Structure 1
């Protein structure tokens, strides 16, 4: 498996144990919040965006109203990570425990083919493909928001846009995290003249922390969508603007058409659910690989007593890594857009299949090699593992409202500042680089190859957890590309197995074992101290990575109160109604 392009973005999560929540106390740490059970809460990567969502709850809006308002506000204050120029995956539930999901993943233009990333006979590398237009998919977030609002919104459509319009028009301050992104990802952030003018000074350096940025072009775009609905994004001047920028880009221009933008549709998908130690866990199906990877890893771990081992045990982390290796191998082989290829979702999380996979895991030693299995219903395709691409531009939103509705919504533009192309004050995604860029291996087509109208495989893992009594317990998700399932796995183990209060679980490190023999652990954490023990267990290729700023968000309902948390390595917050 090729590992040279892995971006390891580690982040702890806000979690807690449902079993001991009544006796645990929430620590007064940044990012956390606690409130009574009959009020709502929003957890997001930026407090200004979270506040936009909470404003909707205070007006008796639904969890969906709040989630949309938060996503729109993140477009303004977190331009490097998500927003209307990208797509998202949305998972919701109501007080009855009914789960629904909407796929707002970006789509490839009609001109796309398996040779999409071959230019002048040369295969583009990931770094070469990101800036410019070849990487741009038709954005899906506004269509997702409109579909979700029609089904689950309570407030008028225009109302949910108001906080973001104010932020864009009146201005918002550059935070240390945004400044750092502008510094590190200048290649994309300053790709367009619009981006340079907004975020950089005459000296070519990012504007200082605290500088107030006003984005009137984005305010006008959002106002048009608020007034006219989603058609203002997918038709008319905005659609023509997207196409003009993509087809005339200074780098990697691509043949997107107005018809491509006009024709985008968000889709209802069937949720993917399974149980882990009597907890029902639900997530997103294809094109997301999140739910199958999370549920497979947990299912393979169920025979091990992780609670007895504890979070300080090298064996526990070894078992998590080994189970991830198996689940990520299946992910690489089978996960893709189910509208184009057969994805054996039920088979990948089938209890008997996972028991057989679990039997390969030895607590005393590592598996010498791992390979994808053949789950029930799988096509017997000979397919090589895909390389993992860098992903920075993602954000997660967790919301509960006073009526018992909840939303877990992950939004992304892929890399930091996406493709670098700006239209109407927002960045367009580089989501098409989530396809397998090399579409054939040994003469065989990859399942996740580019095709016309296809949605690239996603790692986003918006997740809902229901307790043994059937009641909602946790709304959780994360950002960080292919590490997202690993983070959510760690979150769920922290809650269910290790009885951790939310902010204690925030301090847990991440171990990431994406299918090969390499295991990544976060530098400066207890996992680094465990390296000798992990080596003794057979992990011969352990790599340390810096704790790069990263994001996860969660809300826990413990039966008496609602508790929220946000990754302490981010600038996120959970805010009560």
Structure 2
């Protein structure tokens, strides 16, 4: 499975006491299917379940985490005062109408959702449903929409508590129409730039934040009609390689811009105290004609989350595929700083035809993992992405 693959790529972890349990006496990853018990994490989760978030933010827990960070391989600083000052922020979701549905996702500093909505709006305007799934024409439109959304995401997404993020303008019909007009039906744009927005809504240099494909997504629909699209991340597969009470601490500072100042200007996603970094997470819910959740979807997998969610939704909304077929499509996208076609699939075979259209695609392992549920006349259907260890379960 995915964990075994990651451990195989990180043999150095066998030398760290907190991760040694994943390896045998010869420092090789334990065989797939081995049952492990993490008593420390079980105790932590039990405390939180019994006492709520206060158990996590409690001074004694903050002290243990602060000590571990200070003693880590790259010593850092986090204090009980930081924990006490932290506040969870609830933000209104972003929504658009596309493919005859209302589609909603998480707002910045989540940046993936903004890019998903932009791409769906562009692909709806370009009537991608005219072209067959797997066709070079469809691949061309997917790549062009991805390139346009990626340019906007890297320039404008940031923590709105620190920098104005013009989400309303970036998702407005007039703006999306102007972006769609930049897509040629038969030829790739030689260069794609961020869109121009009003000066009073922020215009800063482009961020070069790193995004890492180590995220988890859950889609849930219960018997009462409640729906949840939930994405979470510790960034790298083992975060900062620091474990406290069974919890792996994240290294999400790398989601800030690597170069916070470009051409003398501070980028929107520059690091600052108290600031939240952008992420490419894209938890998304599509609402049907009855205004009830019709699709609950999202993915793990770094920047490739965005294209994977878009392509799965295009499969369902534009091509009428069931959720399994939509999720299992060979992947195509351009959110990872390059035009990519999934290695070893029918998508990779489109490369010569796409090059004739002006694209410059490369073959890549695109193992973002989409988890989705649909609600239709026959009830609920779900699918867990085989690109990783996804599973769909009904009770």
Q: TM-score, normalised by structure 2?
A: 0.95
User: Is residue 193 from structure 1 mapped to residue 17 from structure 2 by the alignment?
Assistant: yes
1:555 to 359, 365, 373: 373
Change in CA separation of 1:487 and 1:515 when aligned onto 2, cut-off 3 Å: closer
Return the offset for 1:212.
2.6
How far does the alpha carbon of each residue in 1:92-143 deviate from its partner, in whole angstroms, 9 at most, with x for none? xxxxxxxxxxxxxxxxxxxxxxxxxxxxxxxxxxxxxxxxxxxxxxxxxxxx
For 2:102 and 2:200, how far apart are their aligned partners in 1?
A: 24
Residues 354-407 of structure 1 deviation map (CA, whole Å, 9 limit, x = unaligned): 1011111101111111111123576352403x3352413211011111111100
Counterparts of 2:197 and 2:227, CA distance in 1: 32
CA distance in 1, matches of 2:292, 2:314: 19
How far apart in 1 are the matches of 2:50 and 2:225? 29
Q: Any conservation in 2 of the 1:241–1:423 contact (CA below 8 Å)?
A: yes
Residue 339 in 1 paired to residue 161 in 2?
Answer: yes
* Match of residue 223 from structure 2: 402
Of the candidates 63, 88, 104, which is equivalent to residue 240 of structure 1? 63
Q: Does 1:450 align with 2:275?
A: no
Show the counterpart of 1:210.
Answer: 33
CA contact (8 A) 1:523 1:546 kept: yes
Which residue number in structure 1 is paired with residue 101 of structure 2? 279
Structure 2 CA distance, aligned partners of 1:277 and 1:491? Answer: 13
Following superposition, the deviation at residue 433 of structure 1 comes to: 0.7
Cα distance between partner residues in 2 of 1:323 and 1:388? 20
1:424-479 residue CA offsets vs partner (Å, 9 max, x unmatched): 01211111110112111122111101111111001100000012342321000001
- SS class of match (1:552): strand
Other structure's SS at 2:82 match? helix
The alignment's C-alpha RMSD in Å is: 1.8
Give the structure 2 partner of residue 483 of structure 1.
304
8 Å CA contact 1:374–1:380 kept in 2: the answer is no
Cα distance in 1 for partners of 2:92, 2:70 equals: 35
The question of 1:371 aligning with 2:193 is answered: yes
Cα distance between partner residues in 2 of 1:303 and 1:230: 44
Q: Distance in 1 between matches of 2:107 and 2:146?
A: 18
Q: Distance in 2 between matches of 1:357 and 1:493?
A: 19
Q: Which secondary structure state, in structure 1, belongs to the residue aligned with residue 177 of structure 2?
A: helix
Task: Give 3-state SS (helix, strand or coil) of 1:294's partner.
Answer: helix
Q: Unaligned regions of 5+ residues in structure 1, if any?
A: 1-175
Give ranges in structure 2 of 5+ residues lacking alignment.
none
| SS across alignment from 1:576 | coil
Structure 2 residue aligned with 1:257: 79
Find the partner of 1:300 among 101, 116, 122. 122
2:344 is equivalent to residue 519 of structure 1 = no
Aligned counterpart, 2:2: 177
**What is the alpha-carbon distance in structure 1 between the residues aligned to residue 148 and residue 200 of structure 2?**
16
Relative to structure 1, the CA distance from residue 546 to residue 339 in structure 2 (aligned partners, 3 Å threshold; closer, same or farther) is: same
Q: Say if 1:297 and 1:191 are closer, same or farther in 2 by CA, change over 3 A.
A: farther
Partner SS for 2:60: helix
Taking structure 1 as reference, are residues 377 and 559 closer, same or farther at Cα in structure 2, changes over 3 Å only? farther
Q: Is the 8 A contact 1:190 1:420 kept in 2?
A: no
Q: Secondary structure at the match of 2:393?
A: strand
Aligned to 2:362: 543
- Report the Cα offset of residue 570 of structure 1: 2.0
Kept in 1: contact 2:370–2:384 (CA 8 A): yes
Rate the CA distance shift 1:559–1:378 in 2: closer, same or farther, 3 A.
farther
In structure 2, C-alpha distance between the alignment counterparts of 1:332 and 1:515, rounded to whole Å: 11
Q: Contact between 2:163 and 2:268, CA under 8 Å: does it hold in 1? A: yes
Match of 1:23 in 2: none
1:254 shift after superposition: 1.0
Q: What does the per-residue CA deviation read over 1:491-544, in whole Å, with 9 as the maximum and x for residues that have no partner?
A: 11111111111222232122121386x3111011121111111011101x2110
Query: Equivalent residue of 2:43, what SS?
Result: helix
CA contact (8 A) 2:209 2:256 kept: no
The alpha-carbon distance between structure 1 residues 340 and 194, as it changes in their structure 2 partners (threshold 3 A), is same
Tell me how many residue pairs correspond in the alignment. Answer: 395
Q: What residue number does 1:313 align with?
A: 135
Seen in structure 2, the aligned counterparts of structure 1 residues 474 and 357 have a Cα distance that, compared at 3 Å, is same
- Within the alignment, does 1:423 sit opposite 2:244 as a pair? yes
